[in-house]
Homo-oligomer: A and B are copies of this chain.
Amino acid sequence: MKKSVTAYAPASVSNVACGFDIMGFAMEGIGDRVTVRFSEVPGVRITGVSGWGEGVALEPELNTAGPPVMALAERSGIKEGLEVEIQKGIAPGSGIGSSAASAAAAALACNELLGAGLSKRELVTYAIKGEEVASGATHADNVAPSLLGGFTLIRGYDPLDVIRLEPAVEIWYAVVHPGGGIETKSSRKLLPSLVPLRDVVTQTGNAAGLVAGLLTGDLALIGRSLQDVIVEPARAGTVAGFRETKRAALEAGALGCSISGSGPALFALAPDRHTAELVGAAMGEALERLSIPHSTYVSRIDPHGAVIIP
């Protein structure tokens, strides 16, 4: 029996413009690692957070890695205690699924350690419990891609219905993360509680169009569908350099560009590596001109999702 398991889970872009709370994709090349090990001390303890760990709570109820581990431990009825150690590769509050990645990696590692035998799809419901700590609302559009990889659709929440979309073309992303963070909880308060029916028609048309574009490999349709008339307008003001960065991305050839999750990161999609690199550079330069410190990530959609590290 293993005494310790480490899992990796990638960062993710949620909402993806027109898919508020329902769409997300996993980012290759950046993620969190979580180790779960048995302990003689009863209960679940977070024993360390390294990397981008500043400000991350150590109380298991307040750390997104805690609730999934507590729920899996309870489900398994184990008597031993569990220690959780987190290596954060993703800055908290960046808008690219930092809390989801810790929750996803914790769920996968704990599942393996306890021999619980749950599938990644089943683990989504456990990882969500961590996400609730961060956002104060149940949304699975970060934890689902972080666990399953690829591009995911949450068809519904009651019951949870996670669909993995298989794009007919390879999709690349560029993400820029301006320095600073936005708390998902407070960012959700900016959202309108009521939406004009006209905007609902526009949003459903774009969400349906994005799925059609992905599944048929119609890049132009993907681009036309990457529009958000509901959430982006409400949040754009909280994202430093939003207008300039988005314009730069589109001028550099991005299929589309919008806020990643609740921001402040922005994502853009591109049809190939070369374009994605140009787009990432252009977005970075736009922020430089505004003297806004930032990090840039360019890669493909991560096809694997969370993995156990041997």
Contacts and interface: CB of A to CB of B under 8 A. Distances in A.
**Best-surrounded residue of A19, A153, A191 (most CB of chain B within 10 A):** A153
Contacts of A161: 205, 209, 224
A155 B224 contact: yes
Q: Is the interface of A mostly helix, strand, loop or mixed?
A: mixed
Given A201-B22, A202-B156, A212-B163, A193 B191 contact: no
Interface in A160-205: 161, 163, 165-166, 191-197, 200-205
Interface string A16-31: 0011111100000000
A96 to B, nearest CB: 20
A236 to B, nearest CB: 17
Nearest to A225: B155
Contacts of A21: 201, 205
Contact of A208 (B155, B166, B227): B155
B203 A200 contact: yes
Nearest to A22: B205
B197 A192 contact: yes
Contacts of A191: 197
Given A161-B209, A163-B221, A211-B211, A204 B203 contact: yes
Contacts of A200: 20, 195, 200, 203, 230
B205 A165 contact: no
A206 B156 contact: yes
Contacts of A154: 205
Contacts of A224: 155-156, 161
Contacts of A118: none
Nearest to A21: B201
Contact of A215 (B19, B212, B227): B212
A147 interface: no
A155 B196 contact: no
B194 A196 contact: yes
A153 B193 contact: no
7 contacts: A155-B209, A155-B224, A161-B205, A195-B195, A203-B204, A211-B211, A211-B215
Given A155-B221, A191-B197, 12 more contacts: A21-B205, A156-B205, A156-B227, A161-B224, A192-B197, A195-B196, A195-B200, A200-B200, A200-B230, A203-B204, A211-B215, A212-B215
- Identify the 5 closest CB pairs spanning chains A and B, nearest first: A155-B209, A194-B194, A204-B207, A211-B211, A22-B205
